[in-house]
Structure formats: structure tokens, C-alpha cells
């Protein structure tokens, strides 16, 4: 959300069982990598709550079992499962987010007997488990194994959306084996957690609605005192050198929600496309510069934001509202400044005016 209002400056982020280690077989084999039809992503700009699923998909991989190694076995989970809130594995580098992975089902075109855990069994919670096993059918057959992935908000106060980073060291894997005794199939082990950003290529997570202000006081008209031309600071000089005639003003975001951060972009109305640290005036040799709070670098004037496209120059950024609804006060000071490549001797006395537009962007 942004507001464009002119300022007129008039200046004069269980139990576990042991994992069996198998020899890898050259008989049964994985025939497809983990695949997902598509991710379902909740709309951005919403209000997200704890326990809410913000992204989910169904994924599967397929395995082929030859007549010489007919029985099949799928095991999965985490030998060190330590699920966090809502049976998820938290992602520390994506604050407020956890990953929940569930066993879903199997699919085959062959008529085989099987034993399988119920759909919805949570792999990120229950340790290492046998999910599926079959004695086979006395002939070559293929089986696809399906999983459900859910990205869950586990702390709405921390959740910001954006790129999901899989950074938890807790493994969640599956191993497909064949034969008796069981031997792991060729490429039979799958890292189900890492697959989210690898094979499954999850899009960016939806960003919550930015906290905003109910209104703003942006319209300003100030009158600066007259000063001698010899007292006007040179372009590029220190803030202290322009203290004579310095005048203060204040922009206000009113009734701003918790977490609100205001980014203010300033545009010179007489030179809107230029990026510079001064504001032109009706006097070709004298302009104005502005400072935010106690900053010693002047405000940058430049192009205004257009839609969701932000200018290249840095905005003036307020501090975040830490708690309940309150006003955001943004104090500034304005100073006279000689424009680049001018001398004080060439300045002609007289009144001068300038105007600028400020655009508030809530982040």
C-alpha cells in the first residue's frame, strides 16, 4: 500500500527404530525421480495464523521390480525424528515455517498383495517405519509411491514468506528395497526433505499482508528564514555547515499496526527522474537538502515508485512499530545548499521556492 501526497517546501524469516543398512541391488531400480504435478500456494497479502498450511503438493517416484527380485519394501521417516509444532520439522533460516511430510498411498497397474500404513501417516513425527511391503506377483511390475508435502506456519509473528530454505539437519528419507533378504534398489534412497527445493522446486512462499497505517500527515508547507548568501552550505559539505537557517518538519503515519515499517521515497517535482541529494528551487544556484532524524547523510531525491516497482535509490526507512497500534513520527530538517559547481559570489539574493513529493510504502 502506498500513498502519494505532495510536500510543498516553501523556503525564504516418539519412538524411533534403528535404520537397517542394505546392500544396493542392481535389480530393482528407481525409474522416475520425485515428481510433483504442481504446488498449491495460498494467496499473498493474506493474514496467516499458526498451524495454517500455506503450500502443499502431492509427489511420487516410481520403481521397477524384476521377476528375479519380486518382493518390494518401502521404508521412510526420520531415524532422529524430532518434530516441532504441528508435527513439522522447523526451518530455522525461514522463520515461522515448518515442513510436514506424510505417507499418502501407492499405485500400480499390477495385481499384487500388499501391506501399507494408512494414508496421512506423518513421516516428520513418527520415526523410521515400514510404509509398504509386497511379496510381489511372480512377474515384473512397477509401483509408484506417493507423499504429501505441507508447508505450515508455526509462528505467525515470525513468518515473512519468500524463499523457503531447507536448512534443518534432521533427515527425512525413504528407502525402497527388493528381494529376500531385502537389498536397496538402485537409486533407492531419496532425501524427501531436500527434494522440496531440488526436484520439487517449490515457488516462493506467500508474503503476509504488510502492516499499514490508517492515515498519514504528509502535506507540509514550511517557511525558512532569510540568511546571508555567504552562510549557504556548499554541495557535498557536512550537515553542520548548513545549520544556519535549518528548519524542522515532521511526517506522521497515524494509527500504524504492529510491525509497520514506513519507507519514504522523495521526488523533486522539478526534476523527477534525477537521483541526487538536493532539491532544486526557483533559484538556479541554490537548492535545499534534507536530513532524517540525526542522520549525517542527506535524503536522496529520485524517481517515485510505480506500482510494485521500487526505485534504485534507498528510501528513508522508519523504525518498526514494536507493539500495539501507534503513530510513526518521521522528523526531518531542511537546509539551504548551493548547487554543484556554483560559487557563493554568483548567488543573487531573493525569495525562492521548491516542492517535492513523498511516497509512503508500507513494508
Domains of the chain: 24-196 (2.60.40.1090), 210-362 (2.60.40.1090)
> What average pLDDT does the structure give for the chain?
89
Predicted confidence at residue 126, as pLDDT, reads: 80
Q: What is the 3-state secondary structure (H, E, C) of 202-251?
A: CCCECCCCCCCEEEEECCCEECCCCCCHHHCECCCCCCHHHCCCCEEEEE
**Residue 12 pLDDT more than 90?**
no
Average pLDDT over residues 109-116: 93
Range 91-110 average pLDDT: 94
CA distance 291 to 298: 5
Which residues make Cβ contacts (< 8 Å) with residue 307, sequence separation at least 6?
none
pLDDT of 23 higher than 70: no
- Give dist(CA 39, CA 149) in Å, integer: 9
Q: Beta strands 2-9 and 221-222: pairing type?
A: parallel
The DSSP letter of residue 346 is G
pLDDT tops 80 at residue 208? yes
For residue 276, the 8-state DSSP code is: B
What's the pLDDT at 44?
84
Q: Give the model's pLDDT for residue 81.
A: 58
Query: pLDDT of 326-335, one tens digit each?
Result: 899 999 999 9
Does 5 have pLDDT greater than 60?
Answer: no
240 and 200 in contact (C-beta within 8 Å)? no
- When pLDDT is cut at 50, 70 and 90, the band that residue 4 belongs to is very low
State mean pLDDT over 313-329: 88
Amino acid at each position: 500500500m502506498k500513498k502519494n501526497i505532495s510536500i510543498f517546501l516553501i523556503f525564504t524469516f516418539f519412538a524411533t527404530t534403528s535404520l537397517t543398512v542394505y546392500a544396493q541391488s542392481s535389480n530393482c531400480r528407481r525409474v522416475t525421480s520425485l515428481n510433483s504435478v504442481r504446488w498449491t500456494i495460498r494467496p499473498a497479502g493474506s493474514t496467516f495464523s499458526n498451524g495454517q498450511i500455506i503450500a502443499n503438493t502431492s509427489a511420487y517416484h516410481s520403481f521397477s521390480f524384476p521377476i528375479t527380485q519380486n518382493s518390494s519394501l518401502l521404508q521412510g521417516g526420520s531415524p532422529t525424528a524430532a518434530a516441532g509444532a504441528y508435527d513439522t520439522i522447523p526451518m530455522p533460516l525461514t522463520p515461522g515455517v515448518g515442513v510436514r511430510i506424510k505417507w499418502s498411498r501407492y499405485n500400480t497397474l499390477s495385481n499384487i498383495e500388499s501391506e501399507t500404513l494408512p494414508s496421512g501417516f506423518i513421516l516428520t513425527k513418527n520415526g523410521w517405519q515400514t510404509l509398504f511391503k509386497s511379496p510381489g506377483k511372480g512377474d515384473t511390475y512397477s509401483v509408484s509411491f506417493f507423499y504429501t508435502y505441507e508447508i505450515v506456519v508455526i509462528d505467525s509473528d515470525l513468518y515473512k514468506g519468500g524463499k523457503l530454505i531447507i536448512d534443518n539437519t534432521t533427515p527425512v528419507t525413504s528407502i525402497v528395497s527388493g528381494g529376500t533378504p531385502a537389498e536397496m534398489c538402485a537409486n533407492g534412497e531419496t532425501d524427501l526433505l531436500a527434494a522440496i527445493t531440488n526436484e520439487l522446486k517449490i515457488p516462493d512462499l506467500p508474503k503476509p499482508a504488510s502492516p499499514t497505517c490508517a492515515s498519514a500527515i504528509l502535506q507540509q508547507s514550511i517557511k525558512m528564514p532569510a540568511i546571508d548568501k555567504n552562510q549557504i552550505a556548499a554541495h557535498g559539505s557536512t550537515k553542520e555547515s548548513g545549520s544556519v537557517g535549518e528548519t524542522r518538519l515532521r511526517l506522521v503515519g497515524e494509527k500504524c499496526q504492529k510491525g509497520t515499517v514506513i519507507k519514504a521515497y522523495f521526488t523533486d517535482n522539478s526534476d523527477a527522474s534525477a537521483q541526487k541529494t538536493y532539491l532544486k528551487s526557483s533559484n538556479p544556484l541554490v537548492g535545499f537538502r534534507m536530513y532524517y532524524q540525526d542522520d549525517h547523510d542527506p535524503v536522496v531525491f529520485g524517481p517515485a515508485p510505480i506500482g510494485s516497482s521500487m526505485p534504485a535509490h534507498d528510501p528513508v526507512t522508519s523504525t518498526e512499530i514494536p507493539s500495539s497500534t501507534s503513530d510513526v513520527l518521521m522528523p526531518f530538517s531542511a537546509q539551504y545548499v548551493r548547487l554543484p559547481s556554483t560559487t557563493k559570489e554568483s548567488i543573487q539574493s531573493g525569495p525562492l521556492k521548491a516542492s517535492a513529493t513523498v511516497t509512503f510504502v508500507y513494508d
